[in-house]
Structure 1
Amino acid sequence: MPDLASVTSERMSRVDTAWLRMDTDANLMMIIGVWLVEPSMTLDDLRRRVEGSLLLYDRFRQKVVEDAMGANWVEDGSFDITDHVVAEELDVPPGQAPLEALKARVGELAATPLDAGRPLWELRLVETMEAGRSAIITRVHHCIGDGIALISVMLSITDGGKPPPARKPRSNGEDTETDWFTESLLKPVTDLTIKAIGLTGEGMAKSVELMANPVQPLAGGMDVARVGYQVLSDAAAMALMADDSPTRLKGRATPGKRVAWGEPLPLAEVKVVAQAFGASINDVLLTCVAGAIGDYLRAHGDDPEGKEIRAMVPVNLRPLDQAWKLGNRFGLVPLVLPVGIANPIERLGAVRARMNELKGGYQPVMAFAMLAVAGLLIKPMQSALLNLFAKKATAVMTNVPGPPEPLKFCGRTVKQVMFWVPQSGDIGVGVSILSYAGGVQFGLITDSLLCPDPDDIVRRFQPEFEQLLYLALMLPWDA
């Protein structure tokens, strides 16, 4: 272990430490993305762009050094770009399309750990997927940043992207630039998952910030006591929460992974359907997710009638203009998906009611606080606390807003973007929804035993949406 006094180091936040320690053989805490770019590009072009933009962020030149109390970000003195931006030779069996081979390879990489002795990220370039197209596979450990933060980073390295602002000096890992948590509470964040968190109170904000900041004490004042009590209360409520309905998607997770994605839905059409039914875009998309999963279960001999499954949904807790600072700044809320309701209109009403129940709640902040507390615990105790989330859910589902226009990267066009977030504990399903360039992209990552063919779910998303679109067109014009 290097002498931390002799190298540039920074203390890792408690929440990021929790994510660092959350890796298991069955579920690695990596965010994985795929860009399909046209025309094809070279490895030299990609390395030059990464050196000139991505490496402006400290985190991508730092490795993690753990100690008894947590972990430090330490400058990697032997950093070599060729270790992190590499060529990927795609094995395409006879008769298989390159896109299917790419999905299989991404699934393999989702189950392959990053090198813990180096900065925890890599980019793999498939130079020629098919005529005139390349694929870039990105893997980043969740301790570096959450989905919103990494989307911000990836946007900054595209053509015309803005580099990160110069940082002010830090003191033992403390970010002195912004009391981001107070801002996110006093000015509730609007995002595509839940439009209003509805939390206020400077005392609450500062108390939870104490939990996130490793250099400040965890005690002092009635505000802290109240937050601590609320965390324990929410933990107890989570423990007493009813288990999900048993389905073939729920079980003990295994190391094997499968990924899938389909063609995007037109965002303009999704907006029209949402407006027609007086719902939000999210309500419509989540209705399609619930319908696709329910239809999959029926097709495989399960009867989902009367059943619901719970998905843990990340909720952004930071101003979006602060995303470049990286780290994890999100909470989690349990969203119940009515997979047993076959009628799409009835299902949409149920989803909308569930989403309305979540607005104005404290769950996201308390989940963040629980993750901060978990970062202080030894790994067995942390695992026990975090398993409260995993035992009560079948899936993790995330919804990230992307740019409305196609991105340019090294002079090429990014035609399609997809990403997958990790699952913790024994959760074996991850649903990703990304808006990009006028479309809405669905993706799925699954445990290879619990759901060996995620494409069988993904291909059901569009028919579910088309049902809603058809019904919307049947409504009276003056309604």
Structure 2
Amino acid sequence: MGSLENGSDEPLTPMGRLFLQKEMNQVIYCAFGMRQPLDVDALKLAIQNCPMFMHPRFCSLLVRDSAGREHWRRTRVDIDRHVILVHGPIAEGLSDEAAVNEYLANLSTDLPGLMGDDKPLWDVHLLMAHQCMVLRIHHALGDGISLISSFLGGSRRVDDPEAVPTIGPPSSTRRRRSDGGGEWWKAVVRVLEVVWFTVVFVVELVLRIMWVSDRTTPLSGGAGVELWPRKLATARFSLEDMKVVKSAVANATINDVLLGIISFGLFKYMDQQSPNAVREGTRITGVAIVNLREQQGLQELSNLMEGNPGLRWGNKFGIMPLPVHYSRSCGDPLEYLRKAKSMVDRKKKSLEAHFSYKIVDMAMTYLGAHVASLLYYRICCNTTFSISNVFGPQEEITFGGNPITYIRANVSSLPHALTMHMVSYAGRADMQFLVAKDVIPDPDFLAKCFEDALLEMKAAASTAPNSKK
């Protein structure tokens, strides 16, 4: 155990405590492919100098007081205890991608391997034979936005070794916020829309917590599924292809395209694997993770590191149930995008994500962490899948002097049998599918369904009348 430094303990945030409950014990896994063989000493030095690992959360032990409440206590970090070297191939006869995915899938069910009171709740696995660095970080330390921002603060661009990377969503995804002006009555209509959609969607959210659930499909999970063995697969998308599809539907965003791909891909998978097992019009609901920070990117890194209360470190996100409806008769692939955009536009007019954050926060304050975790757990049990999307660097980057070839992320198991996490990087986007293998035995085929869905949507967009050539 590292020797403790003098100073008062700091209590965990409410969301941090949520992720320590057994129902929601979440660990984030992020894999970085490296172009060159791993230099262990160079990577250790880069880790020690990286803003993320210098943050107080990463230099603190998780301790509990006599009342059982959790606190952070500063300690000295022994880097050698946090860096785990994995020599030799993960399994014989597997490609690097398949081997890394197998390692991550096995790691996702090994939660006790990270928990303990003798060192901070993170470690780094260096897969030497596969030129891959895996970060394993407990979700109590922070969410995807704060973690990716701080980690990339310790990286540099390949084309300019003195410059930090540029991250954040394309400007088009923020365009709608800047659209404004007009007569006073339009402002009144917008306010009324916000109130109406907020009430409707918050009521639906509460009903999801209580008893309303999706019908059983070949993708369904449920209580206890988070403990089942996992498999992991990767779907690879071109951001340029996604932009072509986006241009075919007015005012669509990359996130709209992503949801269109998800609905089209899931239906393709079910039609192939379990034809006639799902009734026409069946509702399949995903849980989307929504960032609630005003900014995301390296522009907020200094504020996060300095503890600015408006941009506090930790977990600041809400959830937004996203329903899609199964349909065999949709001949135009772009119809999936149009339906997704229509639904997301209504969701964006509401404050549902903010209310979901407040509901959990109030439950933590007045009812305790266990009750709050059960509320979140119930939502997961009553829906079918979870999805998140994090915008990564726009340029190729290096870490420890070694160019990074891909960035992929996922989290440990939820009651869902299917969790999806997409990270964009240098014009590409990789989506990880973590599945319960007893429910979805062939996640590679599922990944192919998603890749084919984008290609079919691109082909349709190329001939659409309003497509921008």
Shorter-chain TM-score tier: 0.7 to 0.9
Alignment of 1:137-156 (within 5 A): 137-156=134-153
Give the deviation of 1:99 after TM superposition. Answer: 2.2
2:459 is aligned with 1:470:
yes
Give the deviation of 1:412 after TM superposition. Answer: 1.7
Partners of 1:432 and 1:444 within 8 A in 2: yes
Give the deviation of 1:441 after TM superposition. Answer: 1.8
* TM-score, normalising length: structure 2: 0.80
* C-alpha separation in 2, matches of 1:249 and 1:76: 44
Which residue does the alignment assign to 2:254? 281
* C-alpha separation in 2, matches of 1:478 and 1:395: 31
Unmatched tracts of structure 1, length 5 or more = 164-189, 199-228
* C-alpha separation in 2, matches of 1:194 and 1:16: 32
Give the deviation of 1:465 after TM superposition. Answer: 0.9
Which residue does the alignment assign to 1:158? 155
- The one-letter code matched in structure 2 to 1:465 is L
Correspondence for 1:297 among 270, 277, 280: 270
Q: Name the % identity.
A: 23
Which residue does the alignment assign to 2:95? 97
Unmatched tracts of structure 2, length 5 or more = 157-161, 166-170, 180-198, 305-311
Which residue does the alignment assign to 1:330? 317
Give the deviation of 1:93 after TM superposition. Answer: 3.6
- The one-letter code matched in structure 2 to 1:248 is P
Give the deviation of 1:7 after TM superposition. Answer: 4.0
Which residue does the alignment assign to 1:76? 75
The one-character-per-residue Cα deviations of 1:169-219 (angstroms, maximum 9, x if unpaired) are xxxxxxxxxxxxxxxxxxxxx996996599xxxxxxxxxxxxxxxxxxxxx
Which residue does the alignment assign to 2:190? none
Q: 1:478 to 1:96 in 2, by over 3 A?
A: closer
2:393 is aligned with 1:399:
no
Which residue does the alignment assign to 2:284? 309
Q: 1:389 to 1:90 in 2, by over 3 A?
A: farther
Correspondence for 1:45 among 28, 42, 45: 42
Structure 1 residue matching 2:261: 3-state secondary structure: helix
Q: 1:71 to 1:322 in 2, by over 3 A?
A: farther
Structure 1 residue matching 2:233: 3-state secondary structure: strand
Q: 1:270 to 1:415 in 2, by over 3 A?
A: same
Q: 1:277 to 1:191 in 2, by over 3 A?
A: closer
The one-character-per-residue Cα deviations of 1:246-288 (angstroms, maximum 9, x if unpaired) are 112213303322211133x221221122112222222222111
Alignment of 1:15-54 (within 5 A): 15-21=15-21, 23-24=22-23, 28-53=25-50, 54=52
RMSD: 3.3
Which residue does the alignment assign to 2:56? 58
Which residue does the alignment assign to 2:12? 12
Partners of 1:196 and 1:359 within 8 A in 2: no
Which residue does the alignment assign to 1:365? 354
The one-character-per-residue Cα deviations of 1:400-437 (angstroms, maximum 9, x if unpaired) are 1111111111222111111013454x222111122210
Partners of 2:231 and 2:443 within 8 A in 1: yes
* C-alpha separation in 1, matches of 2:267 and 2:467: 33
Partners of 1:191 and 1:316 within 8 A in 2: no
Alignment of 1:211-230 (within 5 A): none
The one-character-per-residue Cα deviations of 1:137-162 (angstroms, maximum 9, x if unpaired) are 11111111111111102211213577
Q: 1:145 to 1:92 in 2, by over 3 A?
A: closer
Would you tell me which structure has more helix in proportion to its own residues? 2
Q: 1:72 to 1:360 in 2, by over 3 A?
A: same
Partners of 1:30 and 1:422 within 8 A in 2: yes
The one-character-per-residue Cα deviations of 1:343-371 (angstroms, maximum 9, x if unpaired) are 32322221111101101212111111122
* C-alpha separation in 2, matches of 1:238 and 1:143: 25
